[in-house]
Structure 1
Amino acid sequence: MNVVAEFRAFLRAALVTPVERYHTESDAAFRRRRVVAAVTLVIGAVILAFALRIEPGDPRFYGATFALAGVWAGGAFLSGPLHLGRAHTRGGSGSSRAVVQSLALGVMLLALFMVGALVVARIPVLREPVQELLDHARVGSLPLVALITVVNGIAEELYFRGALYAAVGRRHAVAVTTVVYALVTAAAGIPLLVLAAALVGLVVAFQRRVTGGILGPIVTHLTWSLGMLFLLPPVLDALS
């Protein structure tokens, strides 16, 4: 199999062809999940808007972002059962936990964004809002910001690709969760962050559709977000 065919087969297995599973719930449970998901979304969006407007170095940022993670995760678990999901194996004869494919997707997304950074670094109107967001890591504690990145990445996937995805229903879940994720991120007031949320959200939503669970989206999200945290600042600084 040549490289192009191999790549197409990978994308088809990771993002297109669903793994068979049997996840069902009663109408009452589905209605309850929708109510909990809606309330969680409103509270989470308000806290996110507040957290991302806190000045770098202000200790309130850490408390606000951990509180945000608590809201996303708490709402997700209160909404109903969450599933880890399974991915296609390389040979196509079975399934396994969605780890290796998800790591690969996360690295691909990271590489794509690093290429985009080459453009962003040379355009002040795009670069400066991103630099201000990254100042939380520069001015504050980088290890603590990295921990926040991990905790919030997991919590976001528990909610957006776990609770909210299940609450929307199968037919439009990919589109709805991607749009909602981007709109919630718009509270930060950073256009490029909204674009990033839309692209990453779309990829992990397709993963959720294929695997039927949250493990794949979590692995992809963390691979991308931690890579951005550590690689984007030096790239922007070097090219600015």
Structure 2
Amino acid sequence: MQPLLATRSFLQRALFDTPQDTPRLSTRALTWARIVSVVALIAGGALLAIALHIRPGDGLFYPVTLGVAAVWAAAGIAGGGLRRGVAVSGRGRKISPAGQGAVLGIALLAIFLVGAVVVAQIPLLRGPVDGLLDHARFGALPAVLAVTVVTGLAEELFFRGTLYDAVPSRLAVPVTTLLYAVVTSVSGVPLLIFASLILGSVTALQRRATGGQLGPMITHIVWSAGMLLLLPPVLDYL
């Protein structure tokens, strides 16, 4: 019972406790955030569609993917840049959200790796996932890992920053999660779209609970880097 209570308390603090000092944008800043968001979603989505349809092993994959990250990062910086945010410890002290983000990232990674056992048995689902992971299998793994980390950081800077601020606060979590999934849908990989809904929901709740993007960034890169490194051998073994 004690572990369950501790887990519930952690999730409450990390995802559902809302900070009282979340700043509100001026009318001018809000309009600017919305303009930047629309431009970024169109440009970033188009480049992402190109990147994810490049043949595995093709060197063009790296600059195009970094171009996608550059769009997200530029939009995130234009809308206000990085805000670290504040988390609350079990003793009520204000702490960095990084630790909570790491724990959530590891938890998501474990859940998705367990889910890989099911995916491996369904060719219709496994095929598109294998195609996406071929970039790691046939490309330069350190380069793919670096691109994965940079892209994850840039996505959180924008989706849980500028875009989150551009949406009415009561709708920010569902709307930013949905738009993140819509952008991801250009991959044509059903499980990646499903993953974006889960990851997007968790990181959006973190953004609301901490008031910043640091926690979501840590969660995202722990999950994405772990999936890149561990999912291929898990699927190969199965």
| Greater Cα offset, 70-79 or 144-153 | 70-79
Hey, what's the Cα distance between the residues in 2 that align with 1:18 and 1:215?
Answer: 16
Hey, what's the Cα distance between the residues in 1 that align with 2:22 and 2:217?
Answer: 21
**Contact 2:45–2:186 (Cα < 8 Å) also in 1:** yes
Equivalence for 2:186: 187
Equivalence for 1:10: 10
* 1:63–1:81 CA distance, 2 compared to 1 (3 A): closer
CA-CA distance at 1:99 after TM superposition: 1.1
TM-score by length of 2: 0.98
For each residue in 1:102-123, what CA deviation from the matched residue of structure 2 results, as whole angstroms up to 9, or x when unmatched? 1110111001001100000111
Hey, what's the Cα distance between the residues in 2 that align with 1:26 and 1:233?
Answer: 46
Equivalence for 1:44: 44
Hey, what's the Cα distance between the residues in 1 that align with 2:17 and 2:79?
Answer: 27
CA-CA distance at 1:51 after TM superposition: 0.4
Residue type of the alignment partner of 2:218: V
TM-score by length of 1: 0.97
* 1:81–1:234 CA distance, 2 compared to 1 (3 A): closer
Equivalence for 1:70: 70
Unaligned runs of 5+ in 1: none
Describe how 1:53-202 pairs up with structure 2 within 5 A: 53-92=53-92, 94-202=93-201
CA-CA distance at 1:190 after TM superposition: 0.6
Equivalent residue pairs, number: 238
Hey, what's the Cα distance between the residues in 1 that align with 2:159 and 2:102?
Answer: 19
Hey, what's the Cα distance between the residues in 1 that align with 2:122 and 2:81?
Answer: 45
For each residue in 1:161-197, what CA deviation from the matched residue of structure 2 results, as whole angstroms up to 9, or x when unmatched? 1110011121100000000000100000011100000
**Contact 1:36–1:78 (Cα < 8 Å) also in 2:** yes
State the SS of the aligned residue for 1:172.
helix
Q: Which runs of 4+ in 1 moved over 3 A?
A: none
2:35 maps to 1:35: yes
**Contact 2:80–2:161 (Cα < 8 Å) also in 1:** no
Equivalence for 2:205: 206
Hey, what's the Cα distance between the residues in 2 that align with 1:87 and 1:79?
Answer: 22
**Contact 2:79–2:161 (Cα < 8 Å) also in 1:** no
Unaligned runs of 5+ in 2: none
**Contact 1:82–1:163 (Cα < 8 Å) also in 2:** no
**Contact 1:19–1:88 (Cα < 8 Å) also in 2:** no
For each residue in 1:174-223, what CA deviation from the matched residue of structure 2 results, as whole angstroms up to 9, or x when unmatched? 00000000010000001110000000100000000100100000000011
**Contact 1:19–1:95 (Cα < 8 Å) also in 2:** no
| Greater Cα offset, 107-116 or 81-90 | 81-90
**Contact 1:85–1:97 (Cα < 8 Å) also in 2:** yes
Identity over aligned residues, as a percent? 50
**Contact 1:30–1:167 (Cα < 8 Å) also in 2:** yes
**Contact 1:83–1:214 (Cα < 8 Å) also in 2:** yes
State the SS of the aligned residue for 2:169.
coil
CA-CA distance at 1:22 after TM superposition: 4.0
**Contact 2:81–2:157 (Cα < 8 Å) also in 1:** no
Alignment RMSD, CA only? Answer: 1.0
**Contact 2:25–2:165 (Cα < 8 Å) also in 1:** no
CA-CA distance at 1:81 after TM superposition: 4.7
Residue type of the alignment partner of 2:229: F
**Contact 1:53–1:188 (Cα < 8 Å) also in 2:** yes
CA-CA distance at 1:82 after TM superposition: 3.9
Residue type of the alignment partner of 1:223: V
**Contact 1:54–1:60 (Cα < 8 Å) also in 2:** yes
**Contact 1:84–1:213 (Cα < 8 Å) also in 2:** yes
